[in-house]
Amino acid sequence: MEKKIITISREFGSGGRTIGRAVAEKLGIPFYDKELVDQIALESGFAPQFVEENGEHAPGKSFFSYAFAHQGVPGIMNGLSTADFLWNIQCNVILQLAEKGPCVIVGRNADYILKDRKDCLHVYIHADIDYRANRIVTRYGESDKSPENRLQEKDKRRRVNYQHYTGRSWGTAQNYDLCLSSSTLGEEACVDIIVKCATGK
Amino acid sequence: MEKKIITISREFGSGGRTIGRAVAEKLGIPFYDKELVDQIALESGFAPQFVEENGEHAPGKSFFSYAFAHQGVPGIMNGLSTADFLWNIQCNVILQLAEKGPCVIVGRNADYILKDRKDCLHVYIHADIDYRANRIVTRYGESDKSPENRLQEKDKRRRVNYQHYTGRSWGTAQNYDLCLSSSTLGEEACVDIIVKCATGK
């Protein structure tokens, strides 16, 4: 069966976003990454930067300290924490996008949110620590923290967020149709394999 | 880089063994499954059936009750439990086979045993529970336990054995270069993808 919707979950620094974009280009279908953030921001009233920084991160106290970033829609959160409010909107946006037609969706637990659709290919991209460390320094520059610490921190936040909202363990093969190591296989091969699996060709 | 040695870890009933055999045939390289059991049996003095039944299973009391299956080589176990003794031989046999040249090795924690070699492609095959349940009934027949119970029991034993001897979690994507759902992708596509990843073509 042809898979029309491709979700890509990825370790930070693994190149999953770049691979997702290349898959969307090859298949000539929309790629939702930044657009997803903008849509969630629009529907939530939060600033895009806030959604970007917090949408895949651990729910916790830090969310409350940002609650005032929520602009102009007081009263509609119905007692939900900011994190839960954002999660509900994220689910709705992703479900609606999937209804629109074939696409590639990167991150934001889309594999779980769309788990009941049969026309999805769920992909997980990971890579070894050295590959990821080199990649984030090249792409995002140095910071006062070591690349390894930055990776560990981001990994932990994604893992906690995923577990909290899905009840699943992050990086478990059984949650995906396809898991690929970009550091071993190379990004180009990852793109080819995903396209093959999605199209059946 | 071309990957010369392919290890295939698999959920019971996922078709991983069949996929591994087809990969070996396509590449024209040896396939070690039963041969591995025979070699471990030869080196350990245990009966092949005992090695087959216990080599991937949880270490535990049941091993001791089988200790008398160990024929003719008293004294060389050096105080090891039967399970640990078998594990040491299994490691040696797999390391030696890998030295011989390109091959496909199914099961027996070969992904972990060969983790320090750079010329390996480590693959994990899984499938959804309905697919596996149908497959084991078709291939191995009915038994007095439900297929779901048989799967759960076997999954648990492999998981415990893997965790005990490797310190890793069974089914974690990061332990493999490639994880494939045979129930979603189909066995033929799995074979093609593994061959592509191993040869780089």
Distance of residue B47 Cα from the nearest chain A Cα, in angstroms: 34
> What was the pLDDT predicted at B69?
46
Residue A18 binned pLDDT confidence (cut-offs 50, 70, 90) = very high
% of chain B exceeding 90 in pLDDT: 47
Residue A161 has pLDDT above 90, yes or no: no
Closest by CA position to B198, among listed B126, B100, B113, B122: B122
pLDDT at A104: 96
Chain B residues with CB inside 8 Å of A192's CB? 196
Confidence of residue A15 (pLDDT cuts 50, 70, 90): very high
ipTM: 0.86
CB < 8 Å from A in window 85-124 of B: 121, 124
List CB contacts (< 8 A) between B6 and chain A: none
Q: What is the pLDDT of residue B86?
A: 83
**Which pLDDT does position B140 carry in this prediction?**
84
CA angle B65, B69, B75 (to 5 degrees): 95
How many CB atoms lie under 10 A from the CB of residue B45?
17
Q: Is it true that domain A5-199 has CATH number 3.40.50.300?
A: yes
Q: Which residue has the higher pLDDT, A55 or B84?
A: B84
The predicted pLDDT at position A72 comes to 47
Instruction: Give me the residue spans of the domains in chain A.
Output: 5-199
Write out pLDDT tens, residues A42-70.
Answer: 887 888 888 777 766 656 544 444 444 44
Q: What one-character DSSP code corresponds to residue B146?
A: -
Percent of chain A with pLDDT over 70: 87
Contact at CB, B178 and A179, closer than 8 angstroms:
yes
Interface check B67 vs A, CB under 8 A: no
Q: At residue A140, does pLDDT exceed 70? A: yes
Give the pTM.
Answer: 0.87
**Residue A146 three-state SS:** coil
Residue among B172, B193, B200 whose CB faces A172 most closely: B172
What are A115's two structure tokens?
A: 């788990």
Contact A193 B197 (CB under 8 A): yes
Between B37 and B129, name the one with better pLDDT: B129
Q: Does A138 touch chain B (CB under 8 A)?
A: no
Is pLDDT of A154 > 70?
Answer: yes
Asked if B185 has any chain A CB less than 8 Å from its own CB, the reply is yes
Q: How many CB atoms lie within 10 A of CB A189?
A: 17
| Count of CB pairs separated by less than 8 Å, A with B | 62
Q: How does residue A28 score in pLDDT terms, banded at 50, 70 and 90?
A: very high
Q: What is the mean pLDDT of residues B118-142?
A: 91
Round to whole Å and give the CA distance between B56 and B127.
19
Amino acid symbol at B128: D
B68: nearest Cα among B55, B80, B82, B83:
B82
Mean pLDDT of chain A: 85
A173 close contact with B: CB closer than 8 A: yes
**Average of per-residue pLDDT across A25-50:** 86
Q: Is the pLDDT of residue B162 over 80?
A: yes
Inter-chain contact A178–B185, Cβ cutoff 8 Å?
Answer: yes
- Which range, A39-53, A75-89, B39-53, B169-183, is most confident? B169-183
Q: Which of A12, A180, A201 to mutate to test the interface with B (most CBs of B within 10 A)?
A: A180
Residues of B within 8 A of A193 (CB-CB) are 193, 196-197
pLDDT in the model for residue B183: 96
Residue B178 sits at the chain A interface (C-beta within 8 Å) = yes
Residue of chain B nearest A128, judged by CA positions: B174
Pick A1 or A110 by higher pLDDT.
A110
Q: What residue in A sits closest to B175 (Cα-Cα)?
A: A181
**Minimum mean pLDDT among A43-52, A97-106, B61-70, B109-118: which range?**
B61-70
Q: Which amino acid is at A180?
A: L
